[in-house]
Chains A and B, each alone.
Chain A
């Protein structure tokens, strides 16, 4: 991966991060969760997903409360209005704390955890029936793995050898306001996923070069569904919010947000707005 490509991804991610900080002044948002998976979503939309073809990929954000990460990337890509933040929580818009199916680029609404693994699996099944070469990708939170419906769906994925089904686990080790391992320990997670019939990969969910190595369409050719455990940091990119169990939902005043944005400019090597 070239330096320019990495720089490009970092610029997008940081531009998105600024939008997300601005969103905290518009009724707040689940900033910690959004920043945890922002780099992954940035990578997927910029480098992995093929969305222009008729036989296109699908991406489902099952941890719906991380939606600012999705909308900010979609807006930078020009799929939704770059000023979407302005209509956040307006009763006249579909922008609220979770994704809505009426928003361009959103294939399914989410918010209730444990739903989209099965919806994405339905899409993967249909792709197989149509001999498609596309992928159905679903991003779940690690806390979301508490839901039984997720494992029910994983059993079905394994049984059907759905090699076009990719589950990304945003493994930030915090769920709501608790550490995952202190509530319902998930480890050994890889072994669990393997036992359910998945090929399991691990990646640093903030390292674009590593993601480039793992998200290789050619590698996903085994007869198994694929699980990618992405090690992430809640609140990534803003030191005062990183790894904080009390910074899940964040609401800031405009002054506070300005201060955060200024500190980000210093912290991040790339910060110039794209436009």
Chain B
């Protein structure tokens, strides 16, 4: 089942839901035919799209707004902040081609600061599924919550079966490693797959790793992170986002706030946009592949033994 098929299943009998887009129909090609009375395309107009969604929401609708992440989060940033987040309206902002997923489109289309921008907004839930299966597991709960949400849409095929135990603000732990892992990798979104494979490589080197698929950057799953703190001394964040403002920042803020003394290392885009190419090539070129992640972690060192 695809995203739009599940979307249709969830919303078809509930007239509160309205699907909107600013002429970015890639993820919802069938919706205009399936649900013509509850589909609105505003044309290439992210600001108005978000304002219109706010207007629909005060009429008790639940607008599901689709746009390319870079445009919807940045062109319409103030509209999201002022018209959605401030009044805490249950608008769902579905961002497509976030992070590395814009592939060959270049810097105009690269949303590698979207999480930082959305994280600045009180009330905003940020859901970053690891792949299509992870997205599907959470979709119903995301769409039916009363909170505003930003969803980093992700159609990548899964390489593991995700836990269907899903709650807003809760992470999953698909790679437990040994009972006492001195290393925890936290990740989300399209680099989950590389992080997972990196755990297998590290395992071959005798490094026991725990992998956390955060699923949400906001609210952050503090309980799970604190549980990891019991045995892990080293935390590595892996994200297709700028270092500033994403998961690395969120984790550092948490540790400082709670006076937790851990070593924290980011694997992310460091003060640069990525070179436009196909996804696999970007991942290798930018040093974000499973091998790169594993080698980086081996160099960090300090987590072997009991």
Contact = CB atoms under 8 A, between A and B. Distances in A.
Nearest to A153: B48
A119 B52 contact: yes
Contacts of A109: 82, 86-87
Interface stretch (B56-64, B150-158, B174-182, B250-258): B56-64
Interface of A: 101, 107-109, 111-112, 114-127, 129, 136, 148-149, 152-153, 155-156, 159
Interface of B: 18, 37-38, 40, 42-43, 45, 47-59, 61, 63, 78-79, 82-83, 86-87
A122 B89 CA distance: 13
A133 to B, nearest CB: 15
Counting chain A CB atoms within 10 Å of each CB, which of B54, B63, B78, B86 scores highest? B54
Contacts, number: 89
B48 A121 contact: yes
Given A115-B83, A155-B45, A159-B43, A107 B52 contact: no
A107 B57 CA distance: 11
A229 to B, nearest CB: 21
A152 B61 CA distance: 22
Contact of B51 (A101, A118, A159): A118
A126 B47 contact: no
B56 A122 contact: yes
Question: Interface of chain A, helix or strand or loop or mixed?
Answer: helix
A125 B48 contact: no
A149 B45 CA distance: 8
Question: Interface of chain B, helix or strand or loop or mixed?
Answer: helix
B241 to A, nearest CB: 27
A157 to B, nearest CB: 9
A108 B79 CA distance: 13
Given A115-B82, A126-B59, A156-B52, 9 more contacts: A108-B54, A108-B83, A109-B82, A119-B52, A119-B58, A122-B58, A123-B56, A149-B79, A156-B45
A191 to B, nearest CB: 22
Counting chain B CB atoms within 10 Å of each CB, which of A116, A117, A124, A153 scores highest? A153
Contacts of A124: 55
B82 A155 contact: no
Contacts of B52: 118-119, 121-122, 125, 153, 156
A124 B56 CA distance: 9
Contacts of B51: 115-119, 121-122, 149, 153
Contacts of A152: 45, 47-48
Contacts of A118: 47-52, 54-55, 79
